């Protein structure tokens, strides 16, 4: 409501708390049966303003040829809670020869204050606006104008040599264009025969004098404005004049019989981009033919050599495979495999009755594992990740119920592991088998044993929580109102692992799989941790874990950081600290904790702070955290 005092003073408030005055004599405009003050009293009117005020301090923080990064501050007046921001971009000026559609993206979360606009047109001026939205309405926009960086022009056609007259050469040049910025100038490049100059789009070549002094085998002999192209379309190389500060030197030794190229230049105040034509010249054809001949000979020689190497490789592989199979039989290669028990006997070749039977770990594993038939397994060709024990591929598995499920498939060669590696692999596999199947786990499915490779399959969610949160910043859908529900499901899955006495050491948003139904799938325990990207986990590490102590309260600490990540829509914990050492010093020595986000309720932040208690015994259990 707005309260007006004699039309001069304005007070804004969420509710008018005083009662009616007996001195009110002026009827309300929209409700004549009510009085809204008098000439000597305060008049109160309902403004009808439900939307927030516009965001503040919109600025461009980083400029690219196809992207613009922006940031802003939240509105001063929110009229409730700001739930999201709408970012719109519209082209004002462009060099593209087509109309460019405006774009818009909804950034979820009232605490969001930055985003990056992508897939923009280089060398174009954009009007970027940001509005704030609450549950009732959208604010007025705040706007800013910004250019994207220019990019490389379209490559010009190579110049045509018309004729030669003494120490001069007449070229015909061809105009080009650029949708990525202005064509501001053209340069003519003189090149010593057989030389291939660098053609980086940011490289500017030197003039004749510099080339002579530094023995550079190419130089710019002239530059002219694009507006004067018709004047220089027939360009005379070597007339001795200066063209825009470049000396057009007569063609003399060592450039008496040169090659030529044209450079299209796109310049703005802060940057320049260059695009180079193919080389032409009297000796260019000879050089090109010679290069083609050399290249052809090299290809022919390489093909013959490749055929010889392939034949040799096949023969050696067969011999090696036979040798390995023989050794495997001698050494009982079933050591690594889970199929087929091993009987242990003493030197007298029988098992004495008074000696207790030795536990067969591999047989125990076998009884727990589902052995998939070969036709139940399908692998994608491209490798997803190269892990400790072998390659990991995405694929599908037809499970015991005949249902096709997405999977990560770990392909482990039987003979590439040392004995210690085999033990570690089986130990980590046993953790996943021990965990069993649970709704909120990316569970172990089963394995298939090929002739030389063991295939281990786990549930493979289509995406991970971190990627989904970051995508929501660029207008991808995400159920923001279900964040605490998802967190509660994760806590339930972690509680299940805790009951199984399984310690999760890689907990973060990237280790939570998500499918389209937004049911979380916890990944990263046991051997399944190798599907995760290699990231440094200091930002999710409790103080005692920096000392290498493994305990369940450390997972509670990491879970609270994960919840903070979710509320920050994928924000990086301790984003103002650069490396692991800084994070460790802040958390352990200075007792720094992650801040409360603007749209984070006080009760939730109190729960997170209890998870970050230095005293591990004071942290809540996952059974308690499931009630989030």
**Does residue 137 register a pLDDT over 60?**
yes
Can you read off the two tokens belonging to residue 17? Answer: 């708390």
Can you read off the two tokens belonging to residue 232? Answer: 């220089």
**Does residue 344 register a pLDDT over 50?**
no
Phi/psi of residue 487, nearest 5 degrees: -60, -40
Tell me how far apart the alpha carbons of residues 466 and 481 are, in angstroms, rounded to a whole number. Answer: 17
Nearest to 114 by CA among 569, 605, 600: 569
Tell me how far apart the alpha carbons of residues 619 and 609 are, in angstroms, rounded to a whole number. Answer: 9
User: What percentage of the chain exceeds 90 in pLDDT?
Assistant: 32
**Does residue 493 register a pLDDT over 90?**
yes
Of 104-118, 144-158, 307-321, 419-433, least confident by mean pLDDT is 307-321
Q: What is the CB-side half-sphere exposure of residue 431 using CA atoms within 13 A? A: 21
Q: Is the peptide bond before 60 cis (omega within 30 degrees of 0)?
A: no
**Does residue 46 register a pLDDT over 60?**
no
| Number of Cβ within a 10 Å radius of residue 547 | 8
The CATH number assigned to the domain with range 361-459 reads 3.30.200.20
Task: Output the pLDDT for position 339.
Answer: 44
Tell me how far apart the alpha carbons of residues 335 and 329 are, in angstroms, rounded to a whole number. Answer: 11
pTM score, two decimals? Answer: 0.46
Average pLDDT value for residue range 132-153:
91
Task: Output the pLDDT for position 205.
Answer: 87
Average pLDDT value for residue range 514-521:
88
User: Is the distance from CB of 559 to CB of 491 less than 8 angstroms?
Assistant: yes
Can you read off the two tokens belonging to residue 453? Answer: 């490779």
Tell me how far apart the alpha carbons of residues 68 and 114 are, in angstroms, rounded to a whole number. Answer: 11
**Does residue 301 register a pLDDT over 90?**
no
Which residue would you say has higher pLDDT here, 368 or 620?
A: 620
CATH class of the domain defined by 475-518+533-626? mainly alpha
Label residues 300-332 b or e (16+ Cβ within 10 Å = b).
eeeeeeeeeeeeeeeeeeeeeeeeeeeebeeee
Query: What's the sign of the alpha-carbon dihedral 414, 418, 423, 429?
Result: negative
Coil/strand/helix, residue 558: helix
**Residue 155 DSSP class:** P
Can you read off the two tokens belonging to residue 328? Answer: 């495997």
Average pLDDT value for residue range 433-452:
87
Q: What is the pLDDT of residues 354-367, one digit of tens each?
A: 444 444 445 555 55
Average pLDDT value for residue range 167-171:
90
The segment with the largest mean pLDDT, out of 86-90, 332-336, 398-402, 578-582, is 86-90
Which residue would you say has higher pLDDT here, 370 or 136?
A: 136
| Number of Cβ within a 10 Å radius of residue 601 | 12
Q: What is the pLDDT of residues 243-276, one digit of tens each?
A: 998 999 998 888 878 889 999 999 987 889 999 9
Q: What is the pLDDT of residues 170-188, one digit of tens each?
A: 999 999 989 999 999 999 9
Average pLDDT value for residue range 154-181:
90
**Does residue 22 register a pLDDT over 70?**
no
pLDDT classification of 59: cutoffs 50, 70, 90: very high
Ordered alpha helix ranges (H), 179-221:
208-214
**Does residue 83 register a pLDDT over 60?**
yes
pLDDT classification of 324: cutoffs 50, 70, 90: low
**Does residue 60 register a pLDDT over 90?**
yes
Task: Output the pLDDT for position 288.
Answer: 45
**Does residue 530 register a pLDDT over 50?**
yes
Tell me how far apart the alpha carbons of residues 404 and 282 are, in angstroms, rounded to a whole number. Answer: 65
Tell me how far apart the alpha carbons of residues 407 and 409 are, in angstroms, rounded to a whole number. Answer: 6
**Does residue 465 register a pLDDT over 50?**
yes
Q: What is the mean pLDDT of the chain?
A: 81
Task: Output the pLDDT for position 544.
Answer: 87
User: Is the distance from CB of 259 to CB of 283 less than 8 angstroms?
Assistant: yes
User: Does this chain's domain 56-147 share its CATH topology with 475-518+533-626?
Assistant: no
User: Cβ neighbours of residue 223 under 8 Å, at least 6 residues apart?
Assistant: 185, 186, 187, 188, 243, 244, 245, 246, 265
Tell me how far apart the alpha carbons of residues 274 and 266 are, in angstroms, rounded to a whole number. Answer: 6
Coil/strand/helix, residue 117: strand
* 3-state helix/strand/coil string of 296-361: HHHHHHHHHHHHHHHHHHHHHHHHHHHHHHHHHHHCCHHHCCCCCCCCCCCCCCCCCCCCCCCCCH
User: What percentage of the chain exceeds 70 in pLDDT?
Assistant: 81
Q: Hey, where are the domains in the chain?
A: 1-46, 56-147, 160-276, 361-459, 475-518+533-626
Task: Output the pLDDT for position 347.
Answer: 35
Nearest to 494 by CA among 519, 472, 525: 525
Task: Output the pLDDT for position 610.
Answer: 94
Average pLDDT value for residue range 323-334:
49
Q: What is the CB-side half-sphere exposure of residue 579 using CA atoms within 13 A? A: 1
Tell me how far apart the alpha carbons of residues 374 and 269 are, in angstroms, rounded to a whole number. Answer: 64
Q: What is the pLDDT of residues 195-248, one digit of tens each?
A: 778 777 777 888 999 988 888 889 999 999 999 999 999 999 999 999 998 999
**Does residue 439 register a pLDDT over 60?**
yes
Tell me how far apart the alpha carbons of residues 435 and 501 are, in angstroms, rounded to a whole number. Answer: 9
The gap from C-alpha 191 to its chain's centroid, in whole angstroms, comes to: 42
**Does residue 24 register a pLDDT over 50?**
yes
Reading across the β-sheet that carries 463-464, which strands appear in turn? 463-464, 512-514, 520-522
**Does residue 295 register a pLDDT over 80?**
no
**Does residue 72 register a pLDDT over 70?**
yes
Task: Output the pLDDT for position 10.
Answer: 40
Q: Which residue has the tokens 């000392």?
A: 547
Task: Output the pLDDT for position 546.
Answer: 83
Task: Output the pLDDT for position 323.
Answer: 61
Q: Which residue has the tokens 């799938």?
A: 521
Task: Output the pLDDT for position 528.
Answer: 87
Of 100-114, 232-246, 532-546, 578-592, least confident by mean pLDDT is 100-114
The H or E element spanning position 562 is: helix 552-567
Average pLDDT value for residue range 112-134:
91
Which residue would you say has higher pLDDT here, 18 or 497?
A: 497
What topology is assigned to 56-147 in CATH?
Immunoglobulin-like (2.60.40)
Task: Output the pLDDT for position 188.
Answer: 94
User: Is the distance from CB of 34 to CB of 28 less than 8 angstroms?
Assistant: yes
Tell me how far apart the alpha carbons of residues 367 and 374 are, in angstroms, rounded to a whole number. Answer: 19
Average pLDDT value for residue range 379-396:
84
User: Is the distance from CB of 441 to CB of 423 less than 8 angstroms?
Assistant: no
Tell me how far apart the alpha carbons of residues 111 and 78 are, in angstroms, rounded to a whole number. Answer: 12
pLDDT classification of 322: cutoffs 50, 70, 90: low
pLDDT classification of 512: cutoffs 50, 70, 90: very high
């Amino acid at each position: 409501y707005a309260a007006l005092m004699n039309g001069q003073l304005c007070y804004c408030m969420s509710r008018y708390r005083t009662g009616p005055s007996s001195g009110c004599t002026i009827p309300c405009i929209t409700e004549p049966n009510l009085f809204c003050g008098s000439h000597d009293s305060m008049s109160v009117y309902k403004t009808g303003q439900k939307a927030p005020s516009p965001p503040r301090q919109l600025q461009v923080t980083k400029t690219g040829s196809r992207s613009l990064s922006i940031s802003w501050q939240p509105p001063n007046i929110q009229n409730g809670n700001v739930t999201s921001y709408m970012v719109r971009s519209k082209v004002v000026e462009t060099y593209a020869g087509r109309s460019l559609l405006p774009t818009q993206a909804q950034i979820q979360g009232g605490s969001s204050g930055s985003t990056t606009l992508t897939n923009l047109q280089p060398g174009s001026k954009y009007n970027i606006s940001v509005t704030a939205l609450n549950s009732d309405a959208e604010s007025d926009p705040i706007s800013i104008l910004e250019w994207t960086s220019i990019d490389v022009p379209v490559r010009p056609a190579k110049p045509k040599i018309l004729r030669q007259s003494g120490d001069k050469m007449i070229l015909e040049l061809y105009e080009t264009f650029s949708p990525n910025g202005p064509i501001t100038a053209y340069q003519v490049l003189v090149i010593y025969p057989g030389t291939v100059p660098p053609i980086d789009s940011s490289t500017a070549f030197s003039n004749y004098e510099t080339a002579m002094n530094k023995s550079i085998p190419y130089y710019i002999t002239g530059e002219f404005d694009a507006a004067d192209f018709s004047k220089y379309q027939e360009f005379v190389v070597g007339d001795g004049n200066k063209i825009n500060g470049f000396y057009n030197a007569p063609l003399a030794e060592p450039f008496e019989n040169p090659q030529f190229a044209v450079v299209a230049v796109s310049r703005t105040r802060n940057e320049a981009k260059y695009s180079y034509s193919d080389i032409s010249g009297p000796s260019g054809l000879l050089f090109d033919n010679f290069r083609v001949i050399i290249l052809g000979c090299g290809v022919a020689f390489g093909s013959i050599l490749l055929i010889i190497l392939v034949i040799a490789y096949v023969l050696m592989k067969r011999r090696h495979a036979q040798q390995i199979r023989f050794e495997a039989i001698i050494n009982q290669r079933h050591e690594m495999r889970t199929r087929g028990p091993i009987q242990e006997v003493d030197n007298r070749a029988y098992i004495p009755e008074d000696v207790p039977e030795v536990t067969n770990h591999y047989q125990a594993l076998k009884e727990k594992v589902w052995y998939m038939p070969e036709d139940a397994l399908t692998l994608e060709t491209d490798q997803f990740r190269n892990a400790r024990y072998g390659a990991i591929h995405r694929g599908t598995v037809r499970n015991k119920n005949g249902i096709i499920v997405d999977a990560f498939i770990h392909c482990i060669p039987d003979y590439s592991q040392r004995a210690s590696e085999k033990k570690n692999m089986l130990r980590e596999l046993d953790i996943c088998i021990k965990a069993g199947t649970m709704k909120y786990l990316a569970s172990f499915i089963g394995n298939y044993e090929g002739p030389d490779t063991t295939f281990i399959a786990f549930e493979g969610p289509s995406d991970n929580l971190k990627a989904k949160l970051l995508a929501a910043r660029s207008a991808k859908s995400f159920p923001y109102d279900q964040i605490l529900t998802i967190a509660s499901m994760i806590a339930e899955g972690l509680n299940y692992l805790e009951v199984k006495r399984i310690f999760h050491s890689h907990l973060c948003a990237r280790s939570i799989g998500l499918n389209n139904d937004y049911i979380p799938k916890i990944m990263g325990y046991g051997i399944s941790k190798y599907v995760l990207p290699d990231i440094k986990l200091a930002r999710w590490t409790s103080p005692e874990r920096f000392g290498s102590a493994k305990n369940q309260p450390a997972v509670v600490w990491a879970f609270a950081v994960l919840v903070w990540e979710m509320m920050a829509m994928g924000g990086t914990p301790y984003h103002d600290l650069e490396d692991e050492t800084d994070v460790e010093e802040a958390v352990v020595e200075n007792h720094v904790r992650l801040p409360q986000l603007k749209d984070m309720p006080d009760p939730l932040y109190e729960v997170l702070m209890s998870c970050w208690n230095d005293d591990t015994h004071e942290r809540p259990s996952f059974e308690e955290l499931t009630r989030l």
